[in-house]
Amino acid sequence: MRLRNIPGAGEVIDNSPYCIKEPVELKGKWHDFLGNNNPIHIEVGMGKGRFLMDLARLHPEINYIGIERYTSVLLRAVQKMQEDELPNVHFLCIDAATLPDIFDRNEVDRIYLNFSDPWPKDRHARRRLTSSEFLARYDLFLAPDGRIEFKTDNQDLFTFSLEEIESSDKWHLDASTRDLHHDAAMNEGNIMTEYEEKFSAVGNPICKLIASR
C-alpha cells in the first residue's frame, strides 16, 4: 500500500514528547524510563492509535507503547495525543523487525497485532507479523506468561497465522474465532480499531486469536 507523504510529519514526530527518539538505549531499562513497574503492552502496527489510546484510558495501571513505521500514519496518533495527553502512552517510529534490539528478555507483557499488512504474495510471507520469523522475535522479549492477541478480517492471513502457531514447538493457541463479534466469550470487553469498525460495517467477519507459550 502506497502511503501519502505528509511534509513535516517527521519533524513533528521528532519534537513530540510522546515519541521516544533512541529506544535502543532503553533496552532493559524501560521500567526505569517509565517511572513504574507496571506491565508493558505494545501494539505493533498501531495505525492512528485509537485502539491503544482507548485501552490506555481504561487501564491507567498499564504502560502502552505503540509501534508504527510510517511517519505519515504516526503523525495522526501524535495529533490525537496532543488533545488527550495520556501519561501511560508512548510511541516508537521503527520497523517491527528491530523490536528485539529495543526490548530485553521478559520486558513486554502483551503484544497486540491488529489488522496487520497481509503481504499476500508467498515470497513475502516472512514479513507477516504472525510469521514464524516474527514469532521467534517476540519470544526474545515477551514475558513467560505473556500473550499475543491478533485480529484481522483477512481469512487467508488468519489461516496462515493459525498454521504458524500450530506448527511451532514454542507457541500454543489459547483461543480463536473467525467471527469475533458473534462470539460472546471472545468479544467480551473487545476494543474496536478503526479498521475493525470499517470492515465489520460492510459485513466482513472479524477473526481473532490469542497465543502464548
What are the residue numbers of the active site?
A: 117
Evaluate whether 148 touches 77 at the Cβ level (below 8 Å). Answer: no
95 marked among binding-site residues? yes
In this structure, how many other beta carbons lie within 10 angstroms of the beta carbon of residue 30?
A: 20
* 68 assigned binding-site residue: yes
- For 3, the 3-state DSSP assignment is coil
DSSP bridge pairs for 67: 44, 92
Q: Is 153 annotated as a binding residue?
A: yes
**Residue 70 is assigned to a ligand binding site:** no
DSSP category for residue 133: H
The end-to-end CA distance of the chain, in Å, is 32
Length of the chain: 213
> Binding site annotation covers 194?
yes
List binding-site positions for substrate.
121, 153, 193-196
List binding-site positions.
43, 68, 95, 117, 121, 153, 193-196
